[in-house]
Structure 1
Amino acid sequence: MMSDESPALRGNAGHAQLVRAINERFNALSGPLFATDASGLFEAYLDALPGHERQEYNCSCCRVFIERFGGLAQVDDDGLLVSAIWDGDTAPAAFRGVATTLARLVRQAGITMPFLSSEAMYGKPAAGGWHHFAIEPARVYRDSELENAWQHACARREAFVSVRRALDEYSAPVCATALRLLKDDSLHNAEAALGQAQFLVDLHAARDAVHGERCKDNLVYRMVALAPMGFCHPRTSMIATLLDDILAGKSFEAAAASWAAKMDGLQYMRPQALPTAGAIAAATEAFEKLGAASALERRFATMADIQETIWLPRAPASPPAAGGIFASVTPKPASSQPASMTAPPVVMTLEKFRRTVLPDADRIEMAAPTTKVLFTALTSAVHADARPIMQWDTPAQRNPVAWYVYSGGSDPRDFNLSGDFYEVTAITPLPHEWAGQSHPQHGKGLVLLLKGARDLSCKSSCIFPSCLKSELRAFRSTIEAYSQANDMPGSGEDNVAGMGLYQGGQCAVLLRVTSKGQVSDYRIDRWD
């Protein structure tokens, strides 16, 4: 912890109080921080002091601190900048004018980029026998596990530029129309862009609520800093197809056909051009530098890779032991219920099924679909110690599992399934939702893992750049080319795959549930 004792200027307790005040203020903050273009802060700091004290406070360590960190700010709900360091109301009396002056300069500044840092201490609390301005941050300002915080700050700045251009190109009514169409479930696999459409609508609403371009941009910066990186590049995302068609005044039928064509074969996740030799060389160098070369090797997942389930089958209760004085008496056979008397399935939402049926279910079977559906396969890393590259995989909480589907669906035979009903061996959330994580750009879903299910037609390693960490975005085309050129190893009977149920998308399924010896059918018709 930082010392509360001697101030930078011998005998001046006010300076020590100011250091404590800026530490308390900074560590009470929540939400993103931003670097600003506030300049001349150290000169203003000296100028605000009494003339006879300025030379004594002209300290190189304090200068470096103020120039590096003195301009940090947050964005309030009105789009105005608020200093993360200086506050005249909480500063000691001797430095109240100094703090007020610096806070005003920061408020008048403009954002240059998000502030991200892995440093455990900002500034030098002690040097040359004196105490100086310094902050010991209570939290680390980073948005990923990689060490290069500067790289991530730059990526967020580029994301702001991308979003800002998209807002200029796609008006609020255009974005609102796109959101309505996606919410209406009238477009195939709409959940792939639903979250991003809502993000754009919210951005327009936030900008329209304040006055002045700087305030509007400040709010965009704040929202971009908090958003999934996948939301922040609309022009290169699938949603651009829909927005462009709306902007062009196309009919719904034409827009829907264009959307379906882009979705076909998951092409929206794939670059349209092969990588150049230079791009391949740059990607090779970057992956070697990151120590992530082995992370691209993928395999089919097994049950051992599944970290979270919401249901597992239970073994049937053991029958009572034979015996008693009437053990030799043969009972009358129970009559079978005629097929015509079979009760119709109970129709309910998936959320209600989870609450009311799943807790007591001993066995679940899924009725074979009559058309192609989104059978879902799961994959994992070949090397358990490979560098995390998936958005939801971190060194502190490893989770290299991903998933894929075929746009337009798959025939049961392509997933090694036959018969009228398939046994459900487990139900798991999508991998990016395990351990309470939230990556709304990928939607919400469950996978009914089915006995014997595995993808028999996969011809690539199924690495989709949209699932990778943002710092790998620059190598999108090279990663996709690698995926297409390499087969997925590990195909076998222990693979896990099954039926995917997705919020806002495919959710209809007929399930046969055995609970305490009773069998009932349930038709799931929607998510909630």
Structure 2
Amino acid sequence: MDGFMMFKKALQKHFDEMQKEATHLFEVNVDKDELWNTYLDSFPAGTNEIFRERREHDCSCCRQFIKNIGSAVTIKDNQIHTIWELNLGDTTYQSVCDALDTFVKAHTVTDIYTTKFPKIGTDFNFEEINGKSHQWDHLFLELPSKFVNRSSRSNEEVKGQFRDTRNVFKRSLDEITMEALDTILELINSNTLYKGEEWKGVLTEFKKYKKEYDKLTSDTEKDLYAWEKSVTSGMAIGRIRNHSIGTLLINVSEDMDLDTAVKKYEQITAPSNYKRPKAIFTKKMLEDAKKTITELGYMDSLQRRFANLNDITVNNVLFSNKSAARRMVGADDIFGQMEKDIAVSPKKFSKVEEISAQDFIDKVLPTAKEIEAFVENKHEKNFVSMIAPVNPDAKTMFKWNNGLSWAYSGNITDSDMKQNVKAAGGNVDGVLRFSIQWNEDGHDNYDLDAHCIEPDKNEIFFRNCRKPSVSRMGGQLDVDIIHPNGKVAVENITWEDLSRMKPGVYKFFVHQYSGSVRHGFRAEIEFNGEIYKFDYDKSMRTDEKVQVAEVTLDENGNFSIKEKLAGNSSISSREIWSVNTNQFVPVSVISYSPNYFDEQDGIGHRHLFFFLKDCVNNEEPNGFYLEFLDNDLMKHKRVFEALGAKCHVADTKDQLSGIGFSMTKRAELVVKVKSNIERVVKIKF
């Protein structure tokens, strides 16, 4: 192999390696003629002599190659890497590579590199010399498709867009302070900022970039960092300064009064009749709040802890095992009667019976001696803890006659996909609704799409019948999320008018449009006031479609459903709150939620709690929630909402934690019940 071919192949191999981890190529601002002359002039004496009329390496094909891509670079860890970083070990082309590498690195990155052509240069061509065909080889590269501009936009348009994003991104990194980011994120976490939740993922991600950027010491490193990260961060982060949230961040960074800055933000984003649900808390406001709480006599009520068996009386317990019964207030008499029961060898039943939740309470619990719940992965959001005041004599703050409250996993009082859809602008009041939800852990930031095929074969999805468009039968996709940006994502298809809907089968499925979610999705179908829940906890591939259900509308206007996706959890076991899933777990106590203790009725939703043996909440739940507060306290709701999130819930021995279910929402739980017989039943909520 002659020297040039060795040089050419080494260049191609090096380029192939350097581009593997690169999403984009960049280019430095060089004079292309000067770059070409550097190539020609860097050959050692005697190696680039005159051939015919020009120097041997003064080739039009190689000139076109070097002027096109010779200034292209990659950026990794704030360092430039050129295509000329070769270690040839020869005496001719090594000096050429070194000279070009040094020349390119001496200049500043000004753009991304993009081209309309997948092949740069000419691989080889032929010339007839003395009646014989002679092959001339040239510098040549085939580019991966990620570097080729196949759009209708010009290269300059594409470069301009990336350049503008980089400039805004760097300016944001320079001008937005870390203190401002922390302040706005605190407002978002306390639900103070209008539509702030929409920006939480973006700001959290931008904060990571800001931390890395602030550690850099030289302007060159910062310039290169801005280029490297701006091309992968996305437009929301890359141009954050241009958004309403960016204006707020800049104003706070420039020491504008926080309340004034937020009011300016609300003038941009909120409707004219918008009223902020709670105040922005400063130190003075918190001092005033403390005074108010003291005057109202609720200071002792704010200290909260996990409840245990000593906090509930036997008349509020629907079931307890023997060990739990010994510890409950007023349990002596009933326990004494339990001791008199005659032991009977249980008969085992392999058949699983289905029973309504109310029948389970009325007909099964009165004679049950032991109960075990089969906890599944899909019950993760059902994990719940009962919360009590540290001082049992503290004044109750709630709508009911006791100081007990509850908190579900994830710090919500009742997991509700409908509320997420509603918050995203979706209609949840139609006669038929299909909703999907994903990215609950913040790491499945990919595009899932909800689809429905109507009886006339019309398909509702993001390209057809998306709001404001409506199908002939009145169906519409009114929430379409493409980029979750670290937050829980939902999509929603709904029909408002039954009279427009045609009898037949409505087929619902989920399409993985791009990327690959790792944790699947959840789905809901609602009609006639009943919600059918589905869990798909498997990973999905790009373009995969998962059938969820088929809903049939008959000639009389009645809906029925055929489930295509089983709601069962996967076989694998997980540990949630010290409970291993997909196995039976002993139940210590079963009770209603505290708003239905002491035969109270009509105070919010009724929940049924199954408190599990050795279940320990490892989260930091709110001590209470606004919807629990007595109506007399709602005028102070801004203060109480902040306190609910800030009041620490203290640990306690033998806490009452387990799984809970709303009596009005569709769900199911398999339990093993031992009385005089042993049987397995599936409770249908």
Residue 354 and residue 68 in structure 1: after superposition, are their counterparts in 2 closer, same or farther (change >3 A)? Answer: farther
| Shift of residue 57, structure 1, vs aligned partner | 0.5
Residue 186 and residue 49 in structure 1: after superposition, are their counterparts in 2 closer, same or farther (change >3 A)? Answer: same
Inter-partner Cα distance in structure 2 for 1:225 and 1:232: 8
The residue aligned with 2:7 is 18
Inter-partner Cα distance in structure 2 for 1:229 and 1:124: 36
| Shift of residue 233, structure 1, vs aligned partner | 1.6
The residue aligned with 2:423 is 374
Inter-partner Cα distance in structure 2 for 1:385 and 1:513: 27
The residue aligned with 2:57 is 57
Query: Greater helix percent: which structure?
Result: 1
For the pair 1:338 / 2:362, whether they are aligned, the reply is yes
Residue 374 and residue 352 in structure 1: after superposition, are their counterparts in 2 closer, same or farther (change >3 A)? Answer: same
Contact residue 65 and residue 133 of structure 1 kept, 8 A: yes
Contact residue 81 and residue 106 of structure 1 kept, 8 A: no
Inter-partner Cα distance in structure 1 for 2:217 and 2:359: 77
For the pair 1:224 / 2:224, whether they are aligned, the reply is no
| Shift of residue 254, structure 1, vs aligned partner | 5.8
The residue aligned with 1:170 is 176
| Shift of residue 152, structure 1, vs aligned partner | 2.5
For the pair 1:518 / 2:523, whether they are aligned, the reply is no
Inter-partner Cα distance in structure 1 for 2:420 and 2:84: 64
Residue 260 and residue 514 in structure 1: after superposition, are their counterparts in 2 closer, same or farther (change >3 A)? Answer: farther
Inter-partner Cα distance in structure 2 for 1:228 and 1:43: 38
Inter-partner Cα distance in structure 2 for 1:242 and 1:509: 41
Inter-partner Cα distance in structure 1 for 2:253 and 2:45: 62
Deviations 1:297-343 (Å, cap 9, x if unpaired)?
Answer: xxxxxxxxxxxxxxxxxxxxxx99xxxxxxxxxxxxx9663399799
Tell me, what secondary structure is at the counterpart of 2:217?
coil
For the pair 1:33 / 2:25, whether they are aligned, the reply is yes
Tell me, what secondary structure is at the counterpart of 2:86?
coil
Q: Which amino acid aligns with 2:27?
A: A
Pick one of 243, 247, 270 that aligns with 1:237. 243
Pick one of 37, 40, 43 that aligns with 1:43. 37
Residue 385 and residue 251 in structure 1: after superposition, are their counterparts in 2 closer, same or farther (change >3 A)? Answer: closer
Contact residue 125 and residue 134 of structure 1 kept, 8 A: yes
Matched positions, count: 352
Tell me, what secondary structure is at the counterpart of 1:51?
coil
Percentage of identical aligned residues:
16
1:329-368 to 2 correspondence within 5 Å? 337-338=361-362, 352-353=380-381
Aligned alpha-carbon RMSD (Å): 5.2
The residue aligned with 2:586 is none
Contact residue 118 and residue 142 of structure 1 kept, 8 A: yes
The residue aligned with 2:479 is 403
Tell me, what secondary structure is at the counterpart of 1:114?
strand
Residue 337 and residue 43 in structure 1: after superposition, are their counterparts in 2 closer, same or farther (change >3 A)? Answer: same
Q: Which amino acid aligns with 1:131?
A: D
| Shift of residue 126, structure 1, vs aligned partner | 1.7
For the pair 1:451 / 2:526, whether they are aligned, the reply is yes
Name the TM-score, length of structure 2 as normaliser. Answer: 0.42
| Structure 1 segments unaligned to the other structure (5+ residues) | 6-12, 268-318, 321-333, 356-364, 391-399, 406-411, 419-424, 439-443, 455-492, 495-507, 522-528
Residue 368 and residue 57 in structure 1: after superposition, are their counterparts in 2 closer, same or farther (change >3 A)? Answer: closer
Inter-partner Cα distance in structure 1 for 2:375 and 2:263: 31
Contact residue 124 and residue 134 of structure 1 kept, 8 A: yes
For the pair 1:82 / 2:85, whether they are aligned, the reply is no
Q: Which amino acid aligns with 2:668?
A: T
Q: Which amino acid aligns with 1:126?
A: F
Deviations 1:268-297 (Å, cap 9, x if unpaired)?
Answer: xxxxxxxxxxxxxxxxxxxxxxxxxxxxxx
For the pair 1:153 / 2:159, whether they are aligned, the reply is yes
Inter-partner Cα distance in structure 1 for 2:182 and 2:60: 53
Name the TM-score, length of structure 1 as normaliser. Answer: 0.53
Contact residue 10 and residue 86 of structure 2 kept, 8 A: no
Contact residue 121 and residue 140 of structure 2 kept, 8 A: yes
Inter-partner Cα distance in structure 2 for 1:97 and 1:239: 52
Tell me, what secondary structure is at the counterpart of 2:30?
coil
Tell me which structure has the larger Cα radius of gyration: 2
Pick one of 420, 432, 436 that aligns with 2:516. 436
| Shift of residue 211, structure 1, vs aligned partner | 2.9
1:306-317 to 2 correspondence within 5 Å? none
| Shift of residue 140, structure 1, vs aligned partner | 3.0
Inter-partner Cα distance in structure 2 for 1:253 and 1:347: 47
Residue 18 and residue 74 in structure 1: after superposition, are their counterparts in 2 closer, same or farther (change >3 A)? Answer: same
Tell me, what secondary structure is at the counterpart of 1:203?
helix
Contact residue 71 and residue 106 of structure 1 kept, 8 A: yes
| Structure 2 segments unaligned to the other structure (5+ residues) | 49-54, 128-135, 274-350, 353-357, 384-413, 428-434, 436-449, 453-457, 467-475, 482-491, 499-505, 530-558, 561-659, 671-680
The residue aligned with 1:140 is 146
Deviations 1:145-191 (Å, cap 9, x if unpaired)?
Answer: 63546233321111112222333332333234334444555545434
Contact residue 462 and residue 477 of structure 2 kept, 8 A: no
Residue 373 and residue 202 in structure 1: after superposition, are their counterparts in 2 closer, same or farther (change >3 A)? Answer: same
Inter-partner Cα distance in structure 1 for 2:420 and 2:212: 43
Inter-partner Cα distance in structure 1 for 2:220 and 2:184: 27
Contact residue 248 and residue 265 of structure 2 kept, 8 A: yes
